[in-house]
Chains A and B, each alone.
Chain A
Amino acid sequence: MSKFSHPRWSILKRELSSLSKEKTIILALAIQLVIAGFSSFLVVGLTALYDPASAGGDELTVGIAGETQDQLLAVAMNRDDIEPRPYVNEAAAMDAFERGEVDAVVTGTVLTDEAQTVQLDVVVPAEDLRTTLIVTTLREYLTAVETIERQERAQELSFTPIELPEDTGEGSPYFGFTYTILIPLLLFLPPFISGSIAVDSMTEELERGTLELLRVAPLSVVDVVDGKALGMIGIAPLQALLWMGLLRVNGIGISNGGALTVVVTAIATLTVVIGLLLALLTRQRRQAQLLYSIVVLLLFGLAVALPEHPASTVAKLAIDSATVGTFAHVALLFGVAVAGYLFLRRYATGVNPERL
């Protein structure tokens, strides 16, 4: 009797073939692709909005007026993202603004409070995609103005601000997002879906009454659970590997592929265990599915209590900043997954098949 002749492997094969027959696994991949596309759309869209440089934005023409015009002009001259245009007063600048000759107007006034605070009135276009770009660029510029003004008052301050390192404009602003949001999202989705299919697979047998047919075969409930669980757990790391490959092709380097696969497998085990337990407990898809989503979401939230959230673990592994603690968390997840699986088997052993 070979190692793979045990009935649980037939169950596993049946599970996987039913998945591929229904072509739902393709749909699952397509969905994940949509999510990936959606996220990258968001990434590109958001960063383009927040960072004019990444959108290849042009120089901003800014009308400058008011008492502090000279200082404002001096600072603007040193910046290559701003083209200053002096105006005799704010009204003239506003006039140019309305004709669309300048993108924004900055008027400086020295207030007569003790500190002689400089008040800058900034007018930018409303209701326009450009607004975000303009405000972002202006903020950098105004911060530079503030720095100079602050230096003039330095003797009144006990803290000396640290000078900003030079802006190289090289760092991609969505680098961090890719690793902290996108990759965890892509890697956690397969386990989530696996658990959900496990719920379906078990409740469908229970609701249709086909589990009784399986009982005629020389199978225990544990065998059925094993077969279903292993099949569903198995497909999660495969999808994860697919994603890692795809991301690498797209030039997003992913380190620690092995450890990441372990994490995905461990999480898939946990979700499948939760799914199957709920299915056996409630015996109805409606309840089991609802509980499953909520419980998994809840656990994901509660994982905040860990020193390092699993999403953070994944991010640090993928970006190659893993520490000893990170690997300890991988081991911890693995341990919890094994314990959970053993618990599921014990529970399944105790289930009276006649009452299912």
Chain B
Amino acid sequence: MKLAKILRIARWEVTKNAGGVDRRTLGVVVVALLLLLAVVPIVAFSGVGLDDNLYRVGVSEESEFAPVVAEDETFAVIEGATVDDLESERIDLYVEGNQVHRVQSDKGAAAYEELRDSVAAYNERNLRQEPNQSAAFPVEVIVSFEEQTGTSVVVGAPGGEEPLPDADQDEGEAESPVDDTDDGPPMDEDGDESPVDEEDVPDEESADDPSEEEPDDTGEETRTDETDDDTATGDADDEQEAADDPESDEDHDPADDPATADREDGDELTGPLADFLGPLSDDGMSGSPADITPPFPFQSLVLAFLFVLPLNFVIQAYGSTILSERINRRGELLLVTPVSRTEIIAGKTLPYLLGAMALQSLLAVGAVWLLRGEIGGFVSILALIPLVLLFLGSTFLGAMFARSFKELTFVTVTITVSLTSYAFIPAIFSDIDPIALISPLTLVVRDLQTESIALSEFLFSAGPPTLVALVFFSLGAGLYREEDMFDQRSMSGKVLDSLAGPISSKWHVGLVTMMLIPFVMVTQLVAVATFFALGELAILLLFIVVAVTEELAKTLHVYAAYEHNRFERTAGSAIVLGAISGTAFFLIEIAILVFQLLGFTELEIGEALLLFSGVITGPSELLLLIPPLLLHIITAVIGTLGAYRSKGAYIVAVSLAMLVHLVYNLSVVMLFV
């Protein structure tokens, strides 16, 4: 590969695209995109409700619900409707006095629920208007999150964490509601001393109250100590304030600002969008009960969408340009020049990769700036590279396979849908489950939340997609030749061509097996993510996915190689190739196991996956590694013994191999779990 050649091809790609007549298109695209950017926030945030007038309500005039219904856009008030109209389902609800009548249907029930929410919102709105806010919202809730295993996440005051001497004794009396008035007075005194700290340090106060009773009762000093060594709580409080409604902010005495100020350490959301987005992570919340929202990072979904959507435009253009090469033999000119196909592919991909990364970097830095008012997001940029590569790689392969523009459209849509769901389903759970790390977007979300990301986590998250993208490119490169580019070869023929492409000696079979392992891993991880809600059934489904993917990865390319007459069609060669393939697969699996044992012991689902693959113990018990090795070799040989004969024989053989694999895995689990 020569850099100069790559750059020249890249320059052609850019000038061809933006030069001449196409400047007009580019202009239109830019204008349209700007308009789109202007429209999106309006659509998203102007409260243009898709559910406006969704339910029809009849209202009797004296009903106390009349103003509620009138103010909620979701309800359409049907004038002159009576209770009898429920019968004919002309209306879904009828409100009369303090009574709500509804149609006995799913819609009626949904409308009723909607009305309940609406009443709550109506009350809330009106109470916000009250001059006496503390009477309107007499309850202040402060939610903090703590690990039940003992290590604290937010309320890190050590005193509150350790089991106290009197705790056990309390436990005995727990059933009888003991009024602990002893606890009350000290706290009230605290309050008297500084009435402003109600919002500031409530967690420490209450958590440490019992301990305060024991050694010293001086409140004030203890409190300051705690706040100093407990920055996490400070952050949480700061974020709470950022997220609070303006009204409740006004309630605070400005005097508590200095107190908060010395605990700031840059983690809190201070950017222009901070108020809108609220706390990104579950760092704690406060407010009236209605303000408490479950820690579901919907915001991260929005962010994830922000990063994935532009990629769809990029791959559309990229797919077109690759497929255009294949139309009317246009690409032949480049193919006959003394440039290697790797250089051609790299050159044609580079502008799109750089363009996409520029866009993503802009978004990442922009998001960080908007959220935190500072320059950052570099981890995000790094984490987005695998995602961009994955989009481009799969589009490249898709464009090499597609026979027409129409087909490319479908391929692109498929890629978009599957990669989008791969990228952001796990990102939704980024606060909750380590499995979320299978998507690099999780890293982005965590980076935006200023959570720390370990190097091993980064590698675990970014590694597989990068490898898969590279494999896509190399498979596509196997097709980047005259016979496949310009002929109408069948789909399955192309698959075999792309697999046979890199094989020229028997050792290459092992290499291709290793190359296919990222596919297997990603498929299995996606399967885990898809099935993990299904319980028992999920395990069986996973085993099936495991058996199918692993057996195909071990033998499909061997079959392709036989079809391309790379090897002599004898049983002897089949056994050798099967053994090489099986061993290669086993070796990578062990390598991954070691990697996981080193860095991912906490990732239970990852361990489960390795268990499914047939490896049950650590590398210390080497004897136990023999069964999985044998399994992989035997099943691979079963497959290759069919592969050297014919297509039909291969299908039968590989199905048999899958079955053996499945039975083995199931019996291992039966025996050891």
Chain B, range 152-188, C-beta contacts under 8 Å to A: 153-155, 160-161, 163-164, 166-168, 170-171, 173-184, 187-188
Tell me what chain A mostly uses at the interface: helix, strand, loop, or mixed. helix
Given contacts A38-B417, A136-B294, A145-B289, contact A290 B153 (CB under 8 A): no
| Cβ–Cβ contact A122 & B174, under 8 A | no
B257 is an interface residue with CB less than 8 A from chain A: no
With a 10 A CB-CB cut-off, give which of B35, B166, B180, B425 has the most chain A CB atoms.
B180
Given contacts A92-B171, A136-B294, A143-B290, contact A193 B413 (CB under 8 A): yes
Bound form: Cα–Cα A309–B114 in Å? 21
A80 is an interface residue with CB less than 8 A from chain B: no
- Closest-by-CB residue of A relative to B182 is A89
Per-position contact with A for B142-156: 1 when CB-CB < 8 Å, else 0? 111111111001110
| Cβ–Cβ contact A282 & B320, under 8 A | no
Closest Cβ of chain A: how far from B96's Cβ, in Å?
12
| Cβ–Cβ contact A22 & B403, under 8 A | yes
B508 is an interface residue with CB less than 8 A from chain A: no
B206 is an interface residue with CB less than 8 A from chain A: yes
| Cβ–Cβ contact B134 & A304, under 8 A | no
A95 is an interface residue with CB less than 8 A from chain B: yes
| Cβ–Cβ contact B76 & A321, under 8 A | yes
Given contacts A49-B294, A193-B413, contact A88 B54 (CB under 8 A): no
| Cβ–Cβ contact A162 & B109, under 8 A | no
Given contacts A97-B146, A113-B195, A119-B202, contact A321 B406 (CB under 8 A): no
Given contacts A88-B174, A135-B292, contact A286 B317 (CB under 8 A): yes
Which B residues touch A153, using CB under 8 A? 132, 135, 138
| Cβ–Cβ contact A172 & B39, under 8 A | no
Closest Cβ of chain B: how far from A54's Cβ, in Å?
11
When the two chains form the complex, which single residue of B119, B160, B406 contacts A94, counting CB atoms closer than 8 Å? B160
Which B residues touch A311, using CB under 8 A? 50
Which B residues touch A256, using CB under 8 A? none
When the two chains form the complex, which single residue of A45, A91, A116, A172 contacts B160, counting CB atoms closer than 8 Å? A91
A35 is an interface residue with CB less than 8 A from chain B: yes
Which A residues touch B138, using CB under 8 A? 115-118, 146, 149-150, 152-153
| Cβ–Cβ contact A135 & B206, under 8 A | no
| Cβ–Cβ contact A132 & B296, under 8 A | yes
Stretch at the interface among A6-14, A104-112, A233-241, A348-356: A104-112
Bound form: Cα–Cα A293–B141 in Å? 46
| Cβ–Cβ contact A291 & B115, under 8 A | no
When the two chains form the complex, which single residue of B29, B50, B406, B431 contacts A201, counting CB atoms closer than 8 Å? B406
| Cβ–Cβ contact B114 & A176, under 8 A | yes
Which A residues touch B146, using CB under 8 A? 97-98, 123-126
A319 is an interface residue with CB less than 8 A from chain B: yes
Which B residues touch A323, using CB under 8 A? 53, 76
Bound form: Cα–Cα A295–B432 in Å? 38
Closest Cβ of chain B: how far from A198's Cβ, in Å?
10
B447 is an interface residue with CB less than 8 A from chain A: no
Bound form: Cα–Cα A92–B330 in Å? 77
| Cβ–Cβ contact A50 & B404, under 8 A | no
B265 is an interface residue with CB less than 8 A from chain A: no
- Closest-by-CB residue of A relative to B309 is A297
Bound form: Cα–Cα A95–B48 in Å? 48
Chain A, range 292-320, C-beta contacts under 8 Å to B: 293-295, 297-298, 301-302, 304, 308-309, 311-312, 315-316, 319-320
Closest Cβ of chain B: how far from A42's Cβ, in Å?
8
Chain A, range 68-102, C-beta contacts under 8 Å to B: 69-70, 73, 85-92, 94-98, 100
Which A residues touch B49, using CB under 8 A? 312
- Closest-by-CB residue of B relative to A203 is B405
Given contacts A132-B295, A164-B116, A172-B106, contact A179 B209 (CB under 8 A): no
- Closest-by-CB residue of B relative to A34 is B417
Chain B, range 389-448, C-beta contacts under 8 Å to A: 403-411, 413-414, 417-418, 421, 425, 429, 431-433
- Closest-by-CB residue of A relative to B213 is A89
B545 is an interface residue with CB less than 8 A from chain A: no
Per-position contact with B for A1-38: 1 when CB-CB < 8 Å, else 0? 00000000000000000110010100110110011001
Which B residues touch A294, using CB under 8 A? 29, 32-33, 36, 313
Stretch at the interface among B120-128, B476-484, B509-517, B585-593: B120-128
| Cβ–Cβ contact B410 & A24, under 8 A | yes
Which B residues touch A86, using CB under 8 A? 174-178
Stretch at the interface among A204-212, A214-222, A264-272, A335-343: A204-212
Which B residues touch A282, using CB under 8 A? 25
When the two chains form the complex, which single residue of B28, B127, B433 contacts A157, counting CB atoms closer than 8 Å? B127
Bound form: Cα–Cα A158–B35 in Å? 46
B140 is an interface residue with CB less than 8 A from chain A: yes
A-B pairs under 8 A by CB, number: 416
Given contacts A131-B145, A321-B76, contact A175 B167 (CB under 8 A): no
Bound form: Cα–Cα A89–B107 in Å? 46
Per-position contact with B for A116-142: 1 when CB-CB < 8 Å, else 0? 111111111111110111011011001
With a 10 A CB-CB cut-off, give which of A109, A116, A201 has the most chain B CB atoms.
A109
Given contacts A95-B163, A118-B138, A119-B198, contact A181 B50 (CB under 8 A): yes
Q: How large is the interface on A (under 10, 10 to 19, 20 to 34, 35 or more residues)?
A: 35 or more
Given contacts A122-B142, A124-B143, A126-B153, contact A316 B53 (CB under 8 A): yes
Which A residues touch B174, using CB under 8 A? 85-88, 92, 96
| Cβ–Cβ contact B50 & A184, under 8 A | yes
Bound form: Cα–Cα A143–B293 in Å? 12
Which A residues touch B136, using CB under 8 A? 150, 157, 159
| Cβ–Cβ contact A88 & B173, under 8 A | yes
A245 is an interface residue with CB less than 8 A from chain B: no
Bound form: Cα–Cα A323–B43 in Å? 23
Closest Cβ of chain A: how far from B295's Cβ, in Å?
6
B113 is an interface residue with CB less than 8 A from chain A: yes
A180 is an interface residue with CB less than 8 A from chain B: yes
B4 is an interface residue with CB less than 8 A from chain A: no
- Closest-by-CB residue of A relative to B147 is A126
| Cβ–Cβ contact B406 & A304, under 8 A | no
Closest Cβ of chain A: how far from B318's Cβ, in Å?
9
When the two chains form the complex, which single residue of A109, A298, A312 contacts B35, counting CB atoms closer than 8 Å? A298
Which A residues touch B568, using CB under 8 A? none
Given contacts A22-B404, A119-B142, A119-B198, contact A91 B114 (CB under 8 A): no
Bound form: Cα–Cα A73–B174 in Å? 13
B89 is an interface residue with CB less than 8 A from chain A: yes
Per-position contact with A for B81-101: 1 when CB-CB < 8 Å, else 0? 000000001001000001010
B139 is an interface residue with CB less than 8 A from chain A: yes
- Closest-by-CB residue of B relative to A307 is B52
Given contacts A90-B183, A162-B122, A301-B36, contact A176 B142 (CB under 8 A): no
Which A residues touch B288, using CB under 8 A? 146
Stretch at the interface among B321-329, B335-343, B362-370, B605-613: B321-329
Which A residues touch B153, using CB under 8 A? 126-127
Which A residues touch B36, using CB under 8 A? 294, 297-298, 301
Given A199-B405, A290-B320, 14 further pairs, Cβ under 8 A: A38-B421, A45-B533, A50-B294, A91-B160, A97-B146, A120-B139, A150-B135, A157-B132, A173-B113, A175-B106, A204-B327, A208-B328, A284-B324, A301-B36
The list of the 10 closest CB pairs from A to B, nearest first, reads A171-B113, A115-B134, A92-B170, A126-B145, A200-B405, A175-B110, A286-B320, A301-B39, A142-B289, A86-B177
Q: Can you list 12 A-B pairs, Cβ within 8 angstroms, ordered by A?
A: A24-B407, A34-B414, A70-B179, A89-B209, A91-B211, A109-B184, A150-B136, A158-B130, A196-B413, A291-B25, A301-B36, A312-B53
- Chain B interface (Cβ < 8 Å from any Cβ of A): 17, 22, 25, 28-29, 32-33, 35-36, 39-40, 42-43, 46, 48-56, 64-65, 68, 76, 89, 92, 98, 100, 106-107, 109-116, 119-120, 122-123, 126-127, 129-132, 134-150, 153-155, 160-161, 163-164, 166-168, 170-171, 173-184, 187-188, 191-192, 195, 198, 202-203, 206-207, 209-211, 282, 288-290, 292-296, 312-313, 316-317, 320-321, 323-324, 327-328, 403-411, 413-414, 417-418, 421, 425, 429, 431-433, 530, 533
